[in-house]
Each structure stands twice: as C-alpha cells, then as structure tokens.
Amino acid sequence: MKKYDVYALGNALVDIEYHVDDHQLESMNIDKGVMTLIDEHQHEHLVNYLGDLHEKMACGGSAANSLIAIAQMGGRGFFSCRVATDMTGQFFIEDLKNSGIETNSHNKLDDAGSSGKCLVFVTPDADRTMNTFLGVSADLDKTIVSEEAIKQSEYVYLEGYLVTGDKSREAVLLAKDYAKKHHVQTALTLSDPTMMVYFREGMMEMIGEGVDLLFANEEEAFELSGNKDITQTVNALKQYAKTFAITRGKEGAVVFDGQQLHHIEPHVVHAIDTLGAGDMFAGAFLYGLTHAMDYREAGQLASLASSQIVTQFGPRLQTAQTLDLLQSFKAGNF
C-alpha cells in the first residue's frame, strides 16, 4: 500500500473571506464571480479599504482545500507549495500540519518576499469572487516537487492555477513526468474559467497527451471544449482525459469512468457561500477512488460533500462534520 493517497502541487494561499454586496464589488472595480490576479500594492489597497470586515482566515488554495477534505475523511495527503517566512507563511504551514497534511515546504521557506493571500468576496447570492496575490507562490518551481512523495502516492493532483507562471507550469510538467515514471495516476483541475480563457496555450501544455482524471465545472469544461453543449463537451473531453468529472451546480454532475457516463444527482440545499465547493468535490471524489469506491459512488459522495459546504461560510467543513457526512454516506443516509 502506498504511503499517501494523494500528492498535490498548488498555490499556498491564506484565504481571507469578506461578505460584500454587488455594489461594493463595483465600487472596488472588481469583476464578479471569477479569480483575478492582483499585485501586492492592489492587495494592500483592498485590505486597507475593507478594514476589519473579514470573517475568517484559513490556509487555502484549491489543491490544499481538496487535500484537507481528504485528510478529514481519514485519507493521507502530501502537499508541495511555496511560502515565505512571514507570519502568513508560518500560519499556513501550521494550519496545514494541524489539518493532517504532510509537506516539504517548511524546508524551503523564502526569507524574502511575502506569502500568498486570497481575498474572497462572498455576495448574498452565494457567489464567490477571488482577488489573489500570489506572493512567493508565484515562484513555485521544479525544486519544490518531491519525486519520493509522488512515488509513494496513488494520485498526483495538479492545480490548474499553476498555469499562470512559466516556472510553476514547468513544475507541473515535472510532477507529471515523475508520476509516469512511477506509474502514479495524474489528476488535474481546470480551477477557473479564466485559466482557459487567458492561459489556454499553457493549459494545453499541462494537459499534454492527456491526464488520467480531469476535474472541471461546467463553464470550465465549455471553455476547454469550445462549445456550450454538454453532450458535445463530454465527447470532447474524452480526448484530454481517460476519466473526468464535470460539476454542474444545481444540475448535479456528470462523471465518466473511462467506459460509462454517470449522471450524479444534486442535493437541494440553501446555498450561502460557494467558496470551496469545487475543491471539496475533488477532495471527496479522490478520497472515494482511493478507498475502494467506484466512480459513481465517488461522485455521489463528492456531490453530497460539496452540497454541504455551500450551506456555510468558508472553504471547508469542520473535521467532525466531514466525518459525520462520510458515515451517513456509508450508511446510505443521503
């Protein structure tokens, strides 16, 4: 048995969540519903403008959130990322370890620079808008990739946000090479529609000859396929991935296991915050696949888990909540 269920490579970001309305977003010149990269000056300006209005802070970033979900369910994860020696970086590493995730990142802290932060704006319609200052995470490169940890993993999970930098994209390609060398399956999340819109060439380079498992929401999948028909999109994605999962919000999800397409039913809930829903879906799905579930079962677990996280604020559930959810699922109470 492998030491880790999932090895992940991604941006290390401390999520700082704010509750705002559409008018406030407009007043700050922020495009709603997408992830926008900002520089340190813009980040500081927004923080100063908003004052002490933030609700909570947690170590985050897409891949980190997925790994934490896996760990909460009893799985084993390893995360490679880049942080600085500042208070934000120390907070991130401590929170990561407290969540049960192993990392090699504490051995390569940057003495200069600032750790990454993501300002998450949640509006009353439960939509989430992210303004991200990558900090030293933008300098994530091949030196942070751990071949030994990849060798000891069932899956390598790669964050699509890494497409924005040449060095981080090279790190993704190296992780894929190590995975192929050691017969480890590769999973990639497209992360955000803007990644396909503005970094399509780089994303296609990261996909390369294909991945074993691809995660995307419907909008991201449409951008990859080049059309907005779900049937045509499903067929198009088969050329990029052996298997895939497309989340469709209130429509549930579709999961392709390499031979058969499964329609995963949604769970009707009152959503107040969609932050972390896709990350939770991917984490629960990967937990299922690495714990004797087939693709339909993993999709059902992921659908249940992601439906629960949108009923509260923040990118993750409490560990006790996640365990209760998993136990209920295994008992058939969902």
Between CA 12 and CA 244, with CA 272 as vertex, the angle to 5 degrees is: 55
The 10s digit of each residue's pLDDT in 163-189 is: 999 999 999 999 999 999 999 999 999
Q: Who has greater pLDDT, 91 or 253? A: 253
Edge-to-edge order in the sheet of strand 35-37: 35-37, 128-133, 116-122, 13-19, 56-60
What letter would DSSP give residue 261?
E
Asked if pLDDT for residue 55 goes beyond 80, the answer is no
Complete domains list, the chain, with CATH: 4-12+62-111+139-330 (3.40.1190.20)
**Average pLDDT of the residues of the chain:** 92
Over range 133-141, report the average pLDDT: 93
Give me the residue label for tokens 């992780």: 175
Spatial contact of 172 and 206, defined as CB atoms under 8 Å apart: yes
Over range 10-37, report the average pLDDT: 91
Looking at residue 317, its pLDDT comes to: 87
Question: What share of the chain has pLDDT > 70, as a percent?
Answer: 97
The 10s digit of each residue's pLDDT in 264-311 is: 999 888 877 677 789 999 999 999 999 999 999 999 999 999 999 888
Between CA 151 and CA 156, with CA 175 as vertex, the angle to 5 degrees is: 60
What letter would DSSP give residue 266?
P
Query: pTM surpassing 0.75?
Result: yes
